[in-house]
Structure 1
Amino acid sequence: MDSAPAPSPSLSPAALHRLVQEGRAPRLLDVRTPGEFRTAHIPGSYNVPLDTLREHRGELLAHLDEDVVLVCRSGARAAQAEKALADAGLPNLRVLEGGIVAWETVGAPVNRGPERWDMERQVRLVAGSIVLATGLVGVFVPGTHLIGTAIGAGLTYAAVSNSCMMGVLLSKLPYNRGPRPDIRKVIAELRSTQ
């Protein structure tokens, strides 16, 4: 009987904070959108959005050692990034437990920029608005409520599969994209700190 590979160990925010304070910080790759990264990120982290990481994982692999911690808002995108890098051959990756939310909760330092809504909040706004609008319109136009039902089914699938198509689509909006990190610059920075 085949068993699924064991997930990489996660790292608690307190343990990561201790490593940073001791000067033994691992490489921190933040896989959120550039907009989310600009709002708040762990000092010393590199922004490599999930889609960029997937696209350039081979190039990144040559500049990453085995001490890499992946960061996102809550851990879901970081887990996807972990799978992509592990599939490319980088072992011993870790995911920051609870993401940047947990990091801030323990009082660890963050670099702050202009406030933006995180992806999860944007998904809730769009999904809730569609369900509300189709529910109201459904009073006058029979069958419209089925759109809200489809959104509910999509959200259920997103929870079960730990993926979110609406989040992927929203991440493409200019509000979330901002200037895309230049992968050559990220690689140069990674190389200079090896």
Structure 2
Amino acid sequence: MTTRAGKPRLDPVALRDLTRDGAGPRLLDVRTPGEFRTAHIPGSYNVPLDTLREHRAELRHHLDENVILICRSGARAAQAEQALAEAGLPNLRVLDGGVMAWENADGPLTRGPERWDLERQVRLVAGALVLVTGVVGLFVPGLHLIGTAVGAGLTVAALTNTCAMGMLLSRLPYNRGPRTDLDTVVAALRGAS
């Protein structure tokens, strides 16, 4: 499988082989800090997608050429790959299937407090909006159109591989976890060099 940039994705077995001796590639996990705290691949660094996009030029100077991008399923990592490639960082790879595939392949995970992942939160909020506006719309004319708008938003999210609702939910304190700013990220990357 390849990413939008046409580069091959890395499967979990290949990543495990690369990281077996501890001297493997730099692993950047672009999920929210809350998702990262719940479960992450040992040795990975949390650089949330929003932080990465905003500071990609600065981050480029602290990354070597051997970088693997990770998220829950691979979609956000592909977006991060595109952002870093635009900043001039070559030779990026995406973990195919993300942390879900890694876990399914029995890859080790560092676990923290359990939280709902962002995709599950989006399904809950979207489903609740459609359900509530559908039922209340029986009594209040036109209210059911909110559910139609949510459906349209989900369609656009699927077609563009982005999610406005997910981006909004990622800003909630529940998902942010400890603050991840550029200085923290750079300090962690320098410490590993």
| Structure 1 residue aligned with 2:134 | 135
What corresponds to 1:27 in structure 2? 26
Q: Which runs of 5+ in 1 are unaligned?
A: none
Q: Which amino acid aligns with 2:31?
A: R
Give a deviation string over 1:151-175, Cα, whole Å, max 9, x none. 0000000000000000000001000
SS of alignment partner, residue 94 of structure 1:
strand
Aligned length: 190
Aligned pairs for 1:69-108 (under 5 A) are 69-108=68-107
TM-score, normalisation: structure 1: 0.95
Paired position in structure 1 for 2:53: 54
The amino acid that maps onto 2:103 is E
Give me the whole-angstrom Cα distance separating, in 1, the residues matched to 2:191 and 2:148. 51
Displacement of 1:23: 3.3
Letter in 2 for 1:50: L
SS at match of 1:70: strand
Aligned equivalent of 2:38: 39
Does the 8 Å CA contact 1:9/1:93 hold for their aligned counterparts? no
Percent identity (aligned): 72
* Greater mean alpha carbon deviation, residues 14-23 or residues 184-193: 184-193
Aligned-residue Cα RMSD (Å) equals 1.1
Q: Give 1:178's aligned residue.
A: 177
Following TM superposition, by how much is the alpha carbon of 1:20 offset from its aligned partner in structure 2, in angstroms?
A: 1.0
Q: Does residue 120 in structure 1 map to residue 119 in structure 2?
A: yes
Task: Using structure 2 for the length normalisation, give the TM-score.
Answer: 0.95
Deviation, structure 1 residue 58: 1.3
Bigger drift between 113-122 and 49-58 goes to 49-58
With 78-87 and 182-191 compared, the bigger mean Cα shift is at 182-191
Name the SS for the 1:10 alignment partner. Answer: coil
The one-character-per-residue Cα deviations of 1:81-138 (angstroms, maximum 9, x if unpaired) are: 0010000000010000000000000000000000000000000000000000011001
* Distance in 1, Cα, partners of 2:96 & 2:83: 18
Q: Secondary structure at the match of 1:11?
A: coil
- With over 3 angstroms needed to count, the CA separation of the structure-2 counterparts of 1:50 and 1:147, relative to structure 1, is same
Q: Distance in 1 between matches of 2:161 and 2:57?
A: 24
Unmatched tracts of structure 2, length 5 or more: none
Q: In 1, distance between residues paired with 2:117 and 2:71?
A: 10
